[in-house]
Structure 1
């Protein structure tokens, strides 16, 4: 048997269709029901999936695509521009040549007398015209749909067209089965709301979260036995990996891919030493994923958020005021709200009923550990080099605004009391936070 080696590359294919897929049965049944109803009524609607990065949105889209194709649907992936630009939609459908604006000769009765004629171009079809023109049910797949909420998307000149097209699809007014299957980050529903789409059919608005325990274990088992061709009972490794992955598809892929490579290195054996290698590499990949999630924020911004939610149980909900009120003391209310919305848009936090949470508990743990590490570094700088003035460091945990944390049951309807204290001890923007990328 070979010695375990940390030789697995950092690259993993953790985007796109899932290598092994389990779970999400209720969501898929709701999608099937919508598709069936659309065919029966020659209508359609919107099926919207939103969730944080790495939760498996694109993999779920792929499963919906496969089911639609098996039932005779035409399936087309589109970008947001296809909702208002007919040329964009035609290109997505592969119909650019068919609808190309051709010229036709129009003869005038007095041609022989005057010696002339003119040509006119066939009118460019509208997006709605194109969507109506087809014999098969049509599934439009729009990934990264939160882009509709970006500035000038759609452009001002095309906004009314986008609203009209979305309304026609959403309310089944194209006299053809057309379903828009859209997926994006946690702000996607709000983005659609700005384009007058707010009410969804039952089961057609999905807040995607972690896999169930059973589905998580089934995916890990497939990776170990089918991909890694593990010899013997993989239960111990499945248990060990599941303790680290929290049902989060990106984490499952990161650890399972490392496990497959280690098992192959050990010729099918699953050893305790090999599992330690898997743990180490999985942790490194997981941390890289977290850092990528916060890459658009300054270190101070991330540390401020970590400090404000440090007393909240990892993965447990908190109210908006716990974060926004202290931030408003530093930035002002408008900028504090913008920063909170940016955390939402980037999936660092996500809606959790009427509350909010860090959607991956282990990422919440990581943020707390980064806070502690930064505090220790700043304290060391102060003691050894006197480089951070008194009152400028990130304050100790007991100085944080008090918060009432929601009990462990995530389904509780109890709203935590908003903290009325402000953000004491948060360092000024210009002070080095010690954050390392």
Structure 2
């Protein structure tokens, strides 16, 4: 039970204690009770009792150690848990042989198979199921032979009992040992799966937060940089407009701070209508002629909130990419609902030689989120024209978890 501390907090401490008492505890107690009672019987000859007593101590100790170590292992389904400690296995086999020979020599057909059955059960716990079954089958068959031979030679009329009881004892012992151990292994695997699921959930949440933070900060900072550059150019030729641009920079910085706080608190949701409005203003400030088409006119407001959120992220990312990665003079935004799908198409005529990549938290991440929501996101570059197209089901039931992340 040396690694019991690892199970604290996982709901397995009590179950591990119960399994330890059931498997190693039962193995030791059964041998002590049945073989020990026979050793203490004064009718048993001294020459058999002495070696049997020493072998009993070794057998109990080896059984407890071997099964205790087996409990600390977690086998992958269909594979063997690990290598047997050979020193303890040899000690258990030697003790089992002595505890089989001594009772069998005095024709005790019900006792001689106890220790060997324990050895077979212990070895079986360390084997994969494919190797375990042949071992158990062979052990059950062979267990009928020693008692049958001794009974035939002695002619004591106990042939049926001597032949059938030991195989039944072996099968029962293996079943008693493997049952609780199988339950323990299953519980361990389920608990590990639960822990892994929790870790994956935490990582997914971190990725979601990183993506949202990138969407907010990247967009705001790009616009702030653009307006600051514009103000720097205007400061000498048109101080009034330069001051107005710097006021806009200040407002954008305050918005970025507020949006960042909202993301940290988990309240902020990007929406398509807000992002289309924002894109119109930002692209105009960058002297990019932007044409916005929404059909029907109520298409955006009638979309389910998760779809508006995801398409809003696409709109924000593409607007940021136009400012950051292109020298566009014209841009087109087309949003329409057709065939049960909300389609968003954003294009510009100033794509550079290296359009925005698909790695990190940009279009590649958005593609994964739209696919998880039952939609798709594609982009294509044809000469200087770069086109991003997104599609999502209109019905809320089809937006999945990805849309809500």
Same fold (TM over 0.5): no
Q: What's the TM-score once normalised by structure 2's chain length?
A: 0.25
* Structure ranking higher in helix proportion: 2
Q: Which has the larger radius of gyration?
A: 2
TM-score where L is the length of structure 1 = 0.24
Higher relative contact order structure (alpha carbons within 8 Å, sequence separation ≥ 6): 1
